[in-house]
Each structure stands twice: as structure tokens, then as C-alpha cells.
Structure 1
Amino acid sequence: MSSNLSEYLPLINSKFPSLADISDQDWDQVGIRVVEMEPNYTIKEGQLLEYAFLLLDGTVRMYKLSASGREYTLYRIHSGECCPLMSSSILCEGEYEASACVETNGLVLLIPVDMFRHWTDHYQMFRQFIFKSFANRILIMSNLLDSLNFKSIRGRVSEFLVQLAQQGDESEPLHITHDSMSVELGTAREVISRTLKALEKEGIIQLSRGKITIRDLNALEQYVES
């Protein structure tokens, strides 16, 4: 096993317990290593991957690009997770079906695709982890499709703001731009701005440059189902 892997093995096992029964022989293969991630590094849709990546630290945003060039966020991968679209493309020996962009500094375990397939075939714990990641993301994508098809833009914007507020101090302003929200929700910036202005007019939020302050969280939550 390389010194690089030996150094990070406790972190790898803590983040991915499903790798606990990987043999020393299978760890000691050329190409398996831990590398640092830097923000804005991107893997474009349509590539044939040479490595699987398991995230040890940091955040990666998965997104699709429309024919008109508009981005739409699918989901994010966090520490202790792998991308099911990545797993699918590797196991099916096909092209990567989305784009991935590193959002924060972090660490990633790189596994050559042949070894990734071998581990999936021969280690039950790892195989179950991969299948669970498929199931979890199918549920997330199902909720995303429901939101796109059945919720109004006001409901989607409200849901997004509520989720952001719940991630931090609900009394603190949310630091996000209209452009960023348009990417997250896959709609035009003008639509986002118009919806936010309407919510501000109702006294539910307050807008300032690069910030949104929620003044009435209960009222915002009522729009989530609309």
C-alpha cells in the first residue's frame, strides 16, 4: 500500500465503512490514491471516466446543461458519499451523464474504474453501499421532478429559501444572489427576481445586494406546497 493511502486509511474507513473488508492486495493496486480537490474543477458531461471518486471531504455539485446553455442543479455530493451517476456510467461502461463541479476544498479517493468494478463484484458491503446510493438519489430525483412538474415557481423559490434557512441560523440573512438561485432552480434570473420582489412586497422577505432576509418564515413555509 502506498504511503499516500496509509496516511489517509483511518479517514477512508471512517467515511466509508463499506471499504473495511477490502483486502490489502486490492488496496495495493496502481492508481488508487487520495488527491486534493480545488474549487471550480469540473468534469463535463459525456466523458468516459478513468477513475471513480469517493468523497472524503468537501462538496461537489452535480448539474445538467440544457440545449440553451442553462445550468440546472441535480444534487450535491458530500463527505462519505459517491455519485450514483458516476457509478452507473462506470458499471455500464458508458459516458458520464451529468457534469460535476467542485464547490469547496476537499479530498477525494480515486479508484481506477477496473478496480471499482472488481470491488463492486467481489465485496458485498461495498456493493450494498453502491446500491443504497442509487436508491437514495432516485428518491431525491423523484422529489426534484415532482417539484418541477407540480409546484409553482413561487413554491419552488419558497422551498429553496426555507431549506437554506434551516441549514443555518434562521434569523441571519441568506447570502445568495439571484443568479445563483436561477442556477439552483433551473430557471431564468428574471423569473427569480420577479418572484423574490413579489415576496418582498408581501413583507415575507427583505432583499439587499447579495442577501435575502426572511421576515416571516411561517408565511414562506405556507407557499412551499403551492
Structure 2
Amino acid sequence: MLPQQIDCIVSKFPSLSDIAKEDWETNGISVWALPPNQVLHEGHLLEHAALMLDGTVRVYKVSGSGREVTLYRIHDGECCPLMITSILGETQYEASACIEVPSTVLIIPIAVFRDWIDRYKSFRQYIFKVFAERLLIMSNLLDSIHFKSVRSRIAEYLLRETAPDQPAVTMTHDQLAVELGSAREVISRTLKTMEQEGRLQLSRGKITVLHRESLLELVE
């Protein structure tokens, strides 16, 4: 691992600043460039840990009927808590992960990854922080799916993904259904009703927010 590569990695993951120089020279540590649409399927036994240096990975679950629900996304300077669970528990990866855009990841053999967690306090604290943050995200996701109406969840998503000066989001009804863990038919029917109420404008592959205030009224 070259010094400039290490500097770049540490800029993304400050918790790795204590890693000794000789540890960076361990066989198997490398930086990989990953193309979009590459998928790691649920049930895979991991041989490496991956820390995101650049790009985006969508982590999702697929039901027995084939319906997808997005759990969360991993961005620059982040890692997947389900990956950590799989590595530390020596179990299969419990979700699927898809590279959404060209991405770069730091690859660490799992034996080295476990060793670093044991020996380096700052890295261990970072791992605990990842667990805590993602646990909150998962709790909010479950709360949203089980206790909020589809109208409310659509409103929340659109308010989060748009802005007053950028009121449109480019996505299909299928994609929105995947994001919210619902059926396409339910999403399409609800969007059509919201359009008839004057809250949204629907066009092919795009949803435009017409009145943000009216969407705020739907948030539960």
C-alpha cells in the first residue's frame, strides 16, 4: 500500500490513522474499483471487509415473493453493519448489495479486519458507532413500514429527495416501491390520488412536487 493511498484512505476513515505502517503492508489489503450493477447476493460467505472510499452501494432484502425493500445505502467513508455482523459472527451475509455508481473500496481480509478491531481502539469505536447509527436507521425503517401510511411515507421520501429549487425526482413507480418496501400497484394508485389532489405532477420516469406544504400535511 503506497503512502499516498494510505493518506487518501485515512482522509475518508480517520479511525484508521492509528494503524501501523507494517499493518498496511499485510497481504490482501488493496483498493478495488467496482463497476455499477455488480451485486453481492444474500447468503454469501464473506472473505473480505469492504470500506467505501468513493461511490454508493444499496443494501436491500428480497422477500420470498420477490419484492425488494431498500434497507440503507453506503456512501464515502462508511461501511456496512450487516457486513460487520457477518464477519464477526462468522455467518452468511444477510442481505444483498448492489453497486449503484462506479465505486472504490478498501478491501481488508477478514482475519486482518478482526485483528484491527481487537488492537486499535479508535477503529473499534468507529465500528460500534456504525452499529449504533444503522440500528437507528433500521428501527426508523421498521417503524415507517409498519406504522405509517403509504401516503405519509411517499410524502416523507419526496420531501427528503427534493428541494424547493429542485422539485423533481427522476424515478419510476417500480423504483419508488423498492425504496419504500411496498407493491408497485399500491404506489401507483397512491401517487395518482396525490396528483389528483394537486400535490404532485407525474410524468414518465419523473415525479414533481407541486406544493411542499401540502406534502408536509401528510407526514405522520
Fold match, TM over 0.5? yes
Deviation of 1:150 (Å): 0.8
Q: What CA distance in whole angstroms lies between the structure 2 residues aligned with 1:75 and 1:53?
A: 16
Contact 1:57 1:106 in 2 (8 A): yes
Query: 1:1-226 residue pairs with structure 2 within 5 A?
Result: 2-3=1-2, 6-166=3-163, 170-225=165-220
Q: Under a length normalisation based on structure 1, what TM-score does the superposition of the two structures give? A: 0.95
The runs of at least 4 aligned residues of structure 1 exceeding 4 Å deviation read none
What secondary structure, in the 3-state scheme, does the structure 1 residue paired with 2:61 have?
A: strand
Q: Which runs of 5+ in 1 are unaligned?
A: none
What secondary structure, in the 3-state scheme, does the structure 2 residue paired with 1:223 have?
A: coil
Q: What do the CA deviations read for 1:129-179 (whole angstroms, capped 9, x no partner)? A: 00000000000011111101110111111111111114xx54442111101
- Cα RMSD after superposing both structures: 1.1
Q: Under a length normalisation based on structure 2, what TM-score does the superposition of the two structures give? A: 0.97
Deviation of 1:70 (Å): 1.0
Q: What do the CA deviations read for 1:107-126 (whole angstroms, capped 9, x no partner)? A: 10000000000000110000
What secondary structure, in the 3-state scheme, does the structure 2 residue paired with 1:212 have?
A: strand
Q: What CA distance in whole angstroms lies between the structure 2 residues aligned with 1:90 and 1:78?
A: 20
What is the percent sequence identity of the aligned residues?
A: 57
Contact 2:145 2:181 in 1 (8 A): no
Letter in 1 for 2:187: I
Letter in 1 for 2:6: L
Contact 1:31 1:111 in 2 (8 A): yes
Deviation of 1:11 (Å): 1.3
